[in-house]
Structure formats: C-alpha cells, structure tokens
Amino acid sequence: MSQTIIVTGGAQGIGKCTSQHLLKNGYNVVIADVDVEAVKECLQEFNEFQERLLVIETDTSQEESVKKCVKDTINKFQHIYGLVNNAAISNPNNAPVEDLLLEDWHKVIETNLTGYFLMAKYTVPHLRQSKGTIINIASTRALQSEPHTEAYVASKGGVVALTHALAISLGSDIRVNCISPGWIDVTQWRKLSLKKESDVRDIDNQQHPSGRVGKPEDIASMIEYLISDAASFITGQNFIVDGGMTKKMIYEE
C-alpha cells in the first residue's frame, strides 16, 4: 500500500512541486489548498495520477475545513502517513509596524501558524497509527528579517518552535521536522494566471555561496528524504535550505 501524504498549499509553488515529486515517486498525495483556480488546474495537470491523488479545497485556518480535509483523506486512502504543512501567506502590504492592522496580523498568524497547529491536531491520531511524520515549512525569515515583515517573521518563528514542541510531545510515535527555505524561485510553479518568466538575475545567483537561487525541487527532495525511513533517527530539527546565505557575512562597502 502506498503511503499517503497531505500537502497543504499543495496547488502552487513549493507545495505543487512537492505534490508532483511525491506522486512521481509512488506516494498517494492529498493536495489541500484554498485557491479554487489552482486546485482545478492541479486536477487537470495531475490527471494521470488520479488513483493516487485527492485534491481538496481547504482553508487551513478554519477548523471545520481542516476536519473535512482529514475525513475525506481517510475516506479515500484509509490512512495518513505524512503531513507537509506548507500553506502560508506573506505580509499584507509590508506595512510598518505602527500601521499594521490587527486584522492583517491575525490573518497571517492564523494561516501560517494556527493552520499548522490545526492540521497537526486532526492528523495526529492517524499519524500515530502509521508511525508517521510531520514536516513543517518555515523560512529563513524565522532567523533573519527584512523591514516591515513582523507578522510573517513571527509566524515562521512560531513554526520552528512548534516543530520541536510537537517532536517532544509526539515522540516516539511521530517524527516532526522543519525546513526553512531561503530564496526559492517559484515563478514556474504558480497557477496559469500568475505564471511568468523568471526574473532571477545573474547577480542573484552569484551572491549565493551555492552559486544559484533555489528551486522548489530542492525543497521537495528534502521533504521526501525526511519522510523516508532513511531519516528515522531525525526529529525536532530545522533544516535550513538556502544556498548558504544565512552563513554569509555581508557588509555594505
């Protein structure tokens, strides 16, 4: 029986690449995404995998929507082995903190952090049965900041902390790890109405110690490794996948 993995925010960007990568490698995949347009495109694009695919319109910040997602997953596949918490939104308007609306703060926190909690809460009983795993997608912004990103940064810092808290609470039944991507160029993995040519410049690639900006495939490969038995001794960790940028000392000349 193929292992079943739920990927939230799985219809675009890193989530879509991960969904495709896992499908091609034999997993059952549940794409849970709030964007109806992107969801419909995934249904068509991944049609060849329809026996191993379930696509569900899901708002991970809403408890009833999360409960329905988990219920529909069990109805189709009878088990859940992995949860990839990936659904997230960025800072609205990049407003300075004194102008940041409380409702905008709440919206980011509810999607980027509360949504991860809700998905974990309702998948944990099934993950315990399968001795499964949770992988949370955070960001290097949990460790370093640009101006006017308080809500996003706080949410991603919370994801890193939530990861090790869950790892301790759920061990040894469920492994919980975190990935913090750096600059990942997702332009080719957006829905058709947002897809465009990459605007990554040579200087953008060259400033990375690795020699290039990241690709969604870099994260998808790390996710698959953390799902696998090869990572059975790894839990509670945050893996930074950023081409070395967080280790680079930068001063303006």
Total number of domains in the chain = 1
Amino acid (one-letter) located at 136: N
Task: Please give the chain's pLDDT, 253 residues, in tens.
Answer: 799 999 999 999 999 999 999 999 999 999 999 999 999 999 999 999 999 999 999 999 999 999 999 999 999 999 999 999 999 998 777 789 999 999 999 999 999 999 999 999 999 999 999 999 999 999 999 999 989 999 999 999 999 999 999 999 999 999 999 999 999 999 999 998 998 889 999 999 999 999 999 999 999 999 999 999 999 999 999 999 999 999 998 887 6
Burial per residue of 115-146, b for 16 or more beta-carbon CB atoms within 10 angstroms, e otherwise: bbbbbbebbbebbeebebbbbbbbbbbbbeee
Q: Please pick, among 27, 152, 225, 251, the residue that the annotation labels catalytic.
A: 152
DSSP secondary structure letter of residue 201: -
Instruction: For residue 252, tell me if it sits in a domain.
Output: no
Neighbours of 240 (CB within 10 A): 19
Helices (H) and strands (E) in the chain, counts: 8, 7
User: What is the span of the domain harbouring residue 46?
Assistant: 4-247
Instruction: For residue 36, tell me if it sits in a domain.
Output: yes
CATH number for the domain spanning 196: value is 3.40.50.720
Instruction: For residue 253, tell me if it sits in a domain.
Output: no
This prediction's pTM: 0.96
Instruction: For residue 195, tell me if it sits in a domain.
Output: yes
| Annotation says 225 is catalytic | no
Instruction: For residue 26, tell me if it sits in a domain.
Output: yes
Torsion angle defined by CA atoms of residues 14, 9, 138 and 162, in that order, rounded to the nearest 10 degrees: -150
Describe the strand order of the beta sheet including 53-57 as a list of residue ranges: 53-57, 28-33, 4-8, 82-85, 133-137, 175-181, 238-241
- Tell me phi and psi for residue 239, to 5 degrees: -100, 120
What per-residue confidence (pLDDT) applies to 94? Answer: 79
Which of 208, 92, 42, 41 has the alpha carbon at shortest distance from 140? 208
What per-residue confidence (pLDDT) applies to 121? Answer: 98
Tokens linked to 78:
């009878």
Instruction: For residue 96, tell me if it sits in a domain.
Output: yes
Instruction: For residue 102, tell me if it sits in a domain.
Output: yes
